[in-house]
């Protein structure tokens, strides 16, 4: 269902009216985690000022450590909905448990499946049946074939509104958090008709790498990028070191404005 063999035209997925697909360079931006109403609104305004069409923000956070901030849950979803009402930005947010899919889908414009759940087949089937577009991160140790098969689980439930997101893979390299597999962009686009975006924030795990990796993603033909921004990353409860700050926004919006018309 997701293969290009039977569907030669590349697909466009619309999220709250915002297109992601060929001919677009969609910016999705926002905080890694929803922390407070003020922080989320500030981050959303930063995202919108940089040219974002969609707001990202996690209310359910799949953290490596059980002692790390796990997200605000439904209270975080309510904050996102309020910020959407205030800014007009449709929401992309992660769901980590099949039992929460209906609840998260009642708030979200797009459901995100993260790298740790990329082969949680019960969750993939549940989001496939939820009636919302889905952003599927690549599993950190998944081959492109495994990633596309994960997408197939969603598609099999009748949902072809799937956006693939390359977010870096595990390699022997420790200088970066993950290794951005830039080649995954054209390879996945050749094998599948689904849009492919890149997450340079979770790939590098470092603010100074976000713009170079974004440029690399765009040069490789990504249909969009999803970027963490935070008004006060030094106080962030999740992934502060990779969040762009206000001073970075000019460069981000210049890159988006320069390359979007060329896609
Ligand atoms: C995220 O985008 O918030 C996230 C946790 O990403 P990943 O699943 O790629 O680690």
Can you spell out the DSSP letters for 67-95? TS----THHHHHHHHHHHHHH---EEEE-
pLDDT digits (tens, 9 = 90+) for 130-152: 999 999 999 999 999 999 999 99
- Give the separation between CA 71 and CA 63, rounded to whole angstroms: 9
Which pLDDT value is given to residue 188? Answer: 98
Q: Which of 62, 181, 204 to mutate to test the pocket of ligand 1 (most atoms within 8 A of CB)?
A: 62
pLDDT digits (tens, 9 = 90+) for 80-113: 999 999 999 999 999 999 999 999 999 999 999 9
pLDDT band at 170 (very low <50, low <70, confident <90, very high): very high
Which pLDDT value is given to residue 9? Answer: 97
How open is the CA angle 70-16-231, to the nearest 5 degrees?
A: 45
How open is the CA angle 65-71-75, to the nearest 5 degrees?
A: 160
Strands (E) in 183-223, as ranges, are 196-198
Distance 192 CA to ligand 1 centre (A): 22
Q: Which of 137, 224, 230 to mutate to test the pocket of ligand 1 (most atoms within 8 A of CB)?
A: 137
CATH fold of 13-262: TIM Barrel (3.20.20)
ipTM, 2 dp? 0.99
What's the average model confidence in pLDDT over 12-25? 97
Q: Is 58 in the pocket of ligand 1 (CB under 6 A)?
A: yes
C-beta separation of 189 from 226 below 8 A? no
Which pLDDT value is given to residue 127? Answer: 98
Q: What is residue 33's three-state secondary structure?
A: strand
Residue nearest ligand 1's atom 10 by CA? 115
Distance 186 CA to ligand 1 centre (A): 21
- Give the separation between CA 156 and CA 260, rounded to whole angstroms: 32
Backbone angles phi, psi at 185, to 5 degrees: -65, -60
Q: Is 138 in the pocket of ligand 1 (CB under 6 A)?
A: no
pLDDT digits (tens, 9 = 90+) for 187-237: 999 999 999 999 999 999 999 999 999 999 999 999 999 999 999 999 999
Locate the ligand 1 atom nearest the alpha carbon of residue 116 and give its number: 8
- Give the separation between CA 234 and CA 237, rounded to whole angstroms: 9
Where exactly are the structural domains of the chain? 13-262
pLDDT band at 154 (very low <50, low <70, confident <90, very high): very high
pLDDT digits (tens, 9 = 90+) for 24-82: 999 999 999 999 999 999 999 999 999 999 999 999 999 999 999 999 999 999 999 99
Residue 79 CB: number of other CB atoms within 10 A? 22
């Amino acid at each position: 269902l997701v293969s290009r063999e039977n569907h030669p035209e590349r697909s466009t997925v619309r999220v709250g009216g915002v297109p992601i697909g060929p001919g677009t360079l969609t910016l999705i931006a926002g905080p890694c985690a929803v922390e407070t109403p003020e922080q989320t609104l500030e981050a959303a305004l930063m995202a919108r000022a940089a040219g974002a069409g969609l707001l990202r923000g996690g209310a359910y956070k799949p953290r490596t450590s059980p002692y790390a901030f796990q997200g605000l849950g439904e209270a975080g979803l309510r904050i996102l909905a309020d910020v959407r009402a205030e800014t007009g930005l449709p929401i992309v947010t992660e769901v980590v448990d099949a039992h929460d899919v209906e609840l998260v889908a009642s708030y979200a414009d797009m459901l995100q499946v993260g790298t740790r759940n990329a082969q949680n087949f019960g969750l993939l089937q549940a989001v496939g049946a939820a009636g919302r577009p889905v952003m599927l991160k690549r599993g950190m140790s998944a081959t492109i074939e495994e990633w596309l098969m994960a997408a197939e689980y969603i598609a099999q439930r009748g949902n072809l509104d799937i956006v693939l997101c390359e977010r870096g893979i595990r390699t022997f390299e420790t200088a970066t958090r993950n290794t951005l597999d830039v080649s995954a962009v054209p390879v996945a686009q050749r094998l599948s008709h689904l849009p492919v975006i890149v997450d340079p924030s979770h790939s590098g795990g470092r603010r100074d790498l976000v713009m170079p990796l974004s440029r690399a993603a765009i040069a490789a033909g990504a249909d969009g990028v999803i970027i963490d921004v935070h008004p006060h990353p030094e106080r962030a409860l999740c992934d502060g070191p990779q969040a762009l700050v206000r001073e970075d926004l000019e460069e981000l919006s210049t890159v988006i404005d320069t390359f979007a018309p060329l896609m």
